[in-house]
Chain A
């Protein structure tokens, strides 16, 4: 549309947008505020905006008891995390191949996550956090590697079979999770697989597969056909030309899809709630705080919610372009 140019019009535009931004942010703002309050402040009927912030809620959510040398352990963990992050951020300026630095950095993070509970006596919440990471990472890896092959095939094959698969996938995507989850629950209890990561991962890969192949297909459609044709003229077969030529070109799209798979796996509640009894991921673990009658849980729930949201916001900030791209590609939240 053409621009509104009158000054009054411009003010109106920004006024509406600012009001909508406030509306979008109020719950975040309030919960973050609550999470830094003491009991007394958090329960005041008259909302308190000026108070002395406390980390106690966060500490209660994450840490069971502080070790004697608490601060130095804390600094060590923090420094290690900062060093790894910097290495990965500046990987391209270092004389070693970037890929190796990324792999090393990821291993470093893994070691760090493993080391923390050895150094500090952590709460159960930390275990749920690790569960979430494990489930999310394996779901992404499986989902994307299967999905890439199928998405590419669906983008290049013009026959009827492709149409049938795409439409069937769309139908599955629209059906309620519960229709699939209850049979999984039944199989899981027959095979003693309930409460394991593997069952949750399998279920997540399955329910997200339709979405993954649709999205990847749309990105592979954008890759010009001549690319792999010229590679195949040079003697490469389909698979190698796909891996060496197509995947690097379509990489941003693959990252986009991985990002959405990450969100879907990280967000999943119903499926995890049914298929696990103690090995929860964060959404299920947090919902437990609110079901309880104890009002003291209020600030803890706030701190837990904020802690679980921060990783997502960091990821989004890093990959914002990919996210918008994916949404604009007509991708749909599952």
Chain B
């Protein structure tokens, strides 16, 4: 394809991305340096970097940041480990059975995250099923407090994204060459040894992909935290994203929340840049 044809075909999409993503991002940089509330939305006041300084001295911001870090540290490894194990098991069945299992496993990932959260929350209402199970097992009452809300957020996070890693690993396992496994079988390798020395190295590039992607995705987690932290407004368990949202819509500090969004962008860059570099090399190699 010639260069001109390429631009003719791609221009609508390029225009959309320039106009609706690059421009807003630049605008966000500018807005982050304004003092702006809902009142002076037409006449913002320039304050330079004061918003950033305010954020870095804001204990609530750091609290939300710490919780986000904890969330990533627990949720991402769980996705990888559980997803890989279930994919291995799923690989053992075939035909219709496999299809049925796969559809069931996919459900948490397919439904609207907010609705999934609400459904999950129903289990933990005072009259919920798991509240009852918890009380029967431990004998203690299930209390809604900061720790339990945070735990629920993390459990939900694991519940609803694991299907994605299952499918990615499962698709990867389908391409595993049978000869590699056969050769190992002839050498008398046990199943665990085969998984350890053949399968895990084989899917390692997928693992890197999943890790990078899920770190970025879990950094941006919003919907589930937003719904679940409403359980008890006195014990807010905010992540960076929900805190940014509250700063904008509840405390009406649009400039400050924009600065927070910019800081998040910078934070994500740490993971994004190596990821982009990997993809860039892959793209160059493809050509």
Which residues of A come within 8 Å of B, CB atoms? 1-4, 13-14, 16-17, 20-21, 23-28, 30-31, 34, 42-47, 146-147, 149-150, 152-154, 156-159, 161-163, 165-172, 174-180, 182-187, 189-190, 202-203, 205-207, 209-210, 213, 238, 242, 263, 266-267, 269-270, 274, 282-284, 286-287, 289-291, 298, 301-302, 305, 308-309, 312-313, 316, 320, 323-324, 327-328, 330, 332-333
Contact = CB atoms under 8 A, between A and B. Distances in A.
Q: Tell me whether chain A's interface is mostly helix, strand or loop, or mixed.
A: helix
B223 interface: yes
B24 interface: yes
Contacts of A330: 168, 209
B5 A180 contact: no
A154 B10 contact: yes
B230 A270 contact: no
Contacts of A162: 6, 10
A21 B86 CA distance: 11
Contacts of B258: 179, 182-183
A2 B7 contact: no
A176 B127 contact: no
Q: Which residue of B129, B219, B268 has the most chain A CB atoms within 10 A of its CB atom?
A: B129
Nearest to A292: B230
Given A165-B10, A266-B112, A176 B129 contact: no
Given A30-B122, A152-B9, A156-B1, A1 B91 contact: yes
| Closest 10 A/B residue pairs (Cβ) | A150-B13, A206-B20, A153-B9, A183-B24, A157-B6, A27-B119, A328-B171, A183-B27, A179-B261, A156-B1
Contacts of A154: 10
Contact of A324 (B8, B102, B244): B102
18 contacts: A17-B89, A21-B105, A30-B119, A149-B10, A150-B12, A163-B284, A169-B17, A170-B276, A176-B219, A179-B24, A182-B257, A187-B27, A282-B115, A283-B112, A302-B122, A305-B119, A327-B167, A333-B161
A269 B226 CA distance: 10
A309 B115 CA distance: 8
A302 B161 CA distance: 22
A207 B16 CA distance: 10
Given A27-B119, A269-B113, A177 B220 contact: yes
Contact of B31 (A24, A186, A298, A309): A186
Contacts of A327: 106, 164, 167-168, 171
B12 A161 contact: no
A150 B9 contact: yes
Nearest to B227: A287
Contacts of B92: 1, 3-4, 13
A149 B13 contact: yes
B48 interface: no
Contacts of A316: 103, 106, 110
B181 A2 contact: yes
Interface in B72-131: 86, 88-93, 99, 101-116, 118-123, 125-130
Given A26-B123, A42-B127, A152-B9, A305 B25 contact: no
Given A161-B6, A161-B7, A172-B21, A283 B283 contact: no
Contacts of A150: 9-10, 12-14
B104 A25 contact: yes
B93 A305 contact: no
A256 to B, nearest CB: 13
A178 B264 contact: yes
B127 A44 contact: yes
A191 B30 CA distance: 18
Interface string B232-269: 00000000010011001100001001100110110010
Nearest to A180: B24
A290 B20 contact: no
Contacts of B220: 176-177
A158 to B, nearest CB: 5
A157 B1 contact: yes
Contacts of B25: 175, 179-180, 183
Contacts of B90: 17
Given A166-B283, A324-B167, A183 B223 contact: no
Contacts of A185: 248, 254
B89 A13 contact: yes
A159 B123 contact: no
Q: Which residue of A1, A152, A324 has the most chain B CB atoms within 10 A of its CB atom?
A: A1
A169 B280 CA distance: 12
A176 B93 contact: no
Nearest to B42: A190
A320 B116 CA distance: 20
A8 B102 CA distance: 23
B41 A190 contact: yes
Q: Which residue of B90, B101, B114 has the most chain A CB atoms within 10 A of its CB atom?
A: B114
Nearest to B133: A47
Contacts of B144: none
